[in-house]
Amino acid sequence: MHIPDGFLSLQVCALTYAVTALFWIFGFRGVRRAFDERHVPLLSLFTAMFFAAQMMNYPVIGGTTAHLLGGPVLALLLGPYGGLVSMTVILLLQALIFGDGGLSTLGANVLNMGIVGVFIPYLTFVIFVKVTNSRRGLYAGVFIGSFLGDLLAAVSAGFQLGLSVPVFQYGIQLAVAAMAIHHSIIGIAEGVVTSTIMAVIAKSRPDLLALPKAAPSLLGVWSYPSRGS
């Protein structure tokens, strides 16, 4: 899903940077307020893990790629602001070291994978947990949120590419369809992986699920259900 330099028009690059910059401002402030020394190893661990996971990708259309995002796990454990900061670090390092993505398109890539791909899963988690107040509901939210996060992040990338014609050679219809189809499949895999990680952590390190989350007050903070099956 990494969009390289030269694939988006200057207008789309500028707009996506502007939107992403607003989230960066609130995101870094939220992380400073909510995080303490307990978050540092967790943030580093998952940033490194998904940095590596995102390097395993395959081509989709015109030079763009498809891969697991990792955003749902980051959102679940760190909150959406924490996930945004982690994903920004991942995408910046990938662009600078490996040329995977680009600097002119960093705003777009962070918007897709660090905002849509993180905030949508988190919001879904919160809704499912509050409505069901059960662990079964939580896992349903994990899977559905992961799927929706991947799918909508891909659709967002497709729109950005399609709006960049003639810089990008394919229009919105083809770009969105190609990204959505591939990431519908990857979204299922993301849901399975995220649910598995969640189950392992809940069994072996449930204390990690109780750490403070860096999240907007509007979205609220989810907590691991104490009852229900």
What tokens appear for 41 in the block?
């190893």
In a domain, residue 109? The reply is yes
For residues 179 and 162, the answer to whether their CB atoms sit within 8 Å is no
Residue 18 lies in a domain: yes
Instruction: Evaluate whether residue 3 is within a structural domain.
Output: no
Question: Could you read off the pLDDT of 81-118 as tens digits, one per residue?
Answer: 999 999 999 999 999 998 888 999 999 999 999 999 99
Residue 137 lies in a domain: yes
Is 74 within a domain?
yes
- How many domains is the chain built from? 1
Please check whether residue 145 is in contact with residue 72, taking contact to mean a CB–CB distance below 8 angstroms. Answer: yes
Alpha helices (H) along 7-55: 10-34, 39-54
Helices (H) and strands (E) in the chain, counts: 7, 2
Helix (H, G, I), strand (E, B) or coil at 3: coil
Q: Considering the domain boundaries, does residue 89 fall inside one?
A: yes
Q: Residue 60: which CATH number?
A: 1.10.1760.20
Domain that holds residue 51: 10-210
Q: pLDDT tens-digit profile of 2-26? A: 899 999 999 999 999 999 999 999 9
